[in-house]
Chains A and B, each alone.
Chain A
């Protein structure tokens, strides 16, 4: 399947009896949020299964181009999450992440991507509960926003 085909692929709603489910991708830092997600798992908390996780060392590693690429590829929502301010395993990677993603948020709006489709958060390794809640809330929010029609549409 070529890239072009995929980008122009229509949302698979036609004729499907199942309710439409958003496709979400999450970029999580290894030390806090990924660990928080692990904790949610070992605590057997339940949350919606829409998100797929990309593990990155630090939220500072998340290049805004990943987020843009994800939207270009037709994802309906993107989550980026790292350690709380002051707790980054690499001291200040998350500050750069916050700055970049605040700018990105504006840029996305500019491009006609609804702000509800992108979420940036701090979730620590101890916050399994918060992780489950954030995913649940964000999934609901993206669901409400509906299938992503593509940039500028």
Chain B
């Protein structure tokens, strides 16, 4: 006979407020197979866990049901707890009486009744639980970092410094990410290039880091410790080994295009490096716009002029497959396109620009070599209006969330404006000033008090052109009156949004995204760098808008997780995989057909003399992920998923059907 122990948690008042925990624990004590039942304030705390351990010993319990929060939160905690008391960790079941009960119902009687039902189900399942054992699985101590922005670079450097190999994959021709586009960074106004480029160079020259730029992840399979990843290195058309980075090719290339790096404010050639400090400093040919590729080989100037014969039009995309033990996603964000705000004239008036464009106009290596001028007539602007929350905190046009960094870069821009153009005046329209970081509030105050930026609390209703000027109409809600400003330039602080391909990458990695396509962390507070898939971690703005200090901090956190994983000799497999009953399997192969992981093979059963008798299915435990799709497909119930066997689930149904 099974001896089940039931432990009902109060979770302070979180559960106890709506569930009568004492009564429920008492009633649970009367359920079939329950040998002991009790309640406690915080079951997950040390005294709570000790209580479970003691009860296991005193009452000779062989299965444990903890009725508390979601198993997605504390299943590992309680599994560890019971295994410390000598039970197999899979003898645990959890009844989710918090997220699924006390937090969603108000009526105490109803909630208590439901809590008891949930416990009864867990008890019934626990009775059918079997001891499960992990196997040792190998671990490849090499990490893949996807995205070479400041976050990805930091992850790569930290892991590499700890002595492990890293591959850093970047989609564009150079690493550096958004930060490489900025002139100075808040709140200290260090020059972005001065603090970023040394890191880029460190990464490029680190013996443990391999950088693949102009490359994308194409396919991911496997599991923690054993991912197999295929990376597509797009054809660069320039031999990385031969190129010296002299730059004659792009000087002579006849084809000019708007530069993505300069946000359309400057030009690049069809063969180009995105910016002078690019790492690697090797150009790529944009084949879609290159005359050689368009006209069937007529142009060819770059190849002719290259002193080291590095240009090679015949290069093709290369597919590289390798094994990795861990993957870090650090793919960052993209700036939102403010065109939906038709009243603000973006796209219609050349001097209405985004903040990122403003960064480029400021940048010494930008299209104007750092001279702040209007795109329309190249005159320095005097009155500049900065408008906050463009697409942020705005359900109607953009996103409901706050992009977190815009208040700060608006202040940065207002301050830098005054430094560059001494008689300039900055106006900042804002909803609230969110400056909650170290030195941030002081920075905004400095912009207002020392640099004379005028902050106006309110929205802008319209921007329109009047001769050379842009008329900005809005309201100052603090003064309670409408305002009209004759501006020379209007700068829109556009929201940060998820990368357009974030969802695709998430699918490839098997991780989830939130409703705005930001990657979802495993727990919003306690597991901010992990995702629900073991061995995959997040760093930087791909999770949610972040500034550089936060992105870098998270990057080091993700790196620490990877290093912690690699410090192990081997890993333990998840024992909750499928198993075949060879006596009843008729080798119909329905399971094989539906398996998403090709984890099912065919095996020949032999007699004692080694003669084949018949064939059956068998599960490759290394490949099986434990989804159970095969189990539902099997007609003879010959394949079962450990931990979720038919009899376990059916007894949950029964427990509930027979509940009083």
Contacts and interface: CB of A to CB of B under 8 A. Distances in A.
The finding on whether chains A and B are genuine partners in a shared complex, rather than unrelated, reads: yes
Q: Ordered nearest first, which 4 A-B pairs have the shortest CB separation?
A: A41-B99, A61-B628, A60-B629, A90-B627
A93 B627 contact: yes
Interface string A31-61: 1101101101110111101001111111011
Contacts of A55: 71, 96
A1 B633 contact: no
A139 to B, nearest CB: 12
21 contacts: A31-B532, A32-B512, A34-B72, A37-B100, A42-B103, A49-B104, A52-B117, A54-B653, A58-B627, A61-B629, A64-B632, A66-B653, A73-B653, A73-B654, A73-B656, A87-B507, A90-B627, A90-B629, A92-B629, A124-B515, A126-B520
B650 A69 contact: yes
Given A61-B628, A89-B510, A47 B70 contact: no
A22 interface: no
Contacts of A44: 103-104
Nearest to A129: B515
Given A31-B512, A44-B104, A66 B649 contact: yes
Nearest to B518: A126
A47 B114 CA distance: 13
B652 interface: yes
A125 interface: yes
A38 B100 contact: yes
A145 interface: no
A63 interface: yes
A113 to B, nearest CB: 16
Interface residues of B, number: 52
Interface residues of A, number: 55
A29 to B, nearest CB: 9
A86 B106 CA distance: 36
Contacts of A1: 658
Nearest to A132: B104
A127 B641 CA distance: 28
A52 B121 CA distance: 9
Contact of B657 (A34, A45, A73, A92): A73
Contact of A61 (B99, B514, B515, B632): B632
B141 interface: no
Contacts of A97: 629, 632
Contacts of A124: 512, 515
Contact of A49 (B114, B650, B654): B114
A44 B633 CA distance: 37
A40 B513 CA distance: 17
Given A32-B512, A35-B72, A41-B70, A93 B596 contact: yes
B483 interface: no
Which residue among A3, A31, A35, A38 has the maximum number of chain B CB atoms within 10 Å of its CB? A38
Nearest to B524: A42
Contacts of B653: 25, 54, 66, 69-70, 73
Interface of B: 70-72, 96, 98-101, 103-107, 110-111, 113-114, 117-118, 121, 507, 510, 512-515, 520, 532-533, 576, 594, 596-597, 625-629, 631-633, 641, 644, 646, 649-650, 652-654, 656-658
Contacts of B514: 126
Interface of A: 1, 3, 6, 23, 25, 30-32, 34-35, 37-38, 40-42, 44-47, 49, 52-58, 60-66, 69-70, 73-75, 86-93, 96-97, 100, 124-127, 132
A65 B653 CA distance: 11
Contacts of B118: 52-53
Contacts of A54: 121, 649, 652-653
A65 B594 CA distance: 18
Contacts of B117: 52
A45 B104 CA distance: 6
Nearest to B115: A49
A125 B512 CA distance: 8
B649 to A, nearest CB: 6
A88 B533 CA distance: 12
Contacts of A35: 72, 512, 532
A53 B71 CA distance: 13
A60 B71 CA distance: 20
Contacts of B104: 40-41, 44-47, 49, 132
Contacts of A45: 104
Given A89-B532, A93-B596, 20 more contacts: A1-B658, A3-B654, A30-B72, A31-B532, A34-B72, A40-B99, A41-B100, A41-B103, A45-B104, A49-B101, A53-B100, A57-B626, A63-B631, A65-B646, A66-B653, A87-B507, A90-B625, A92-B596, A92-B629, A97-B629
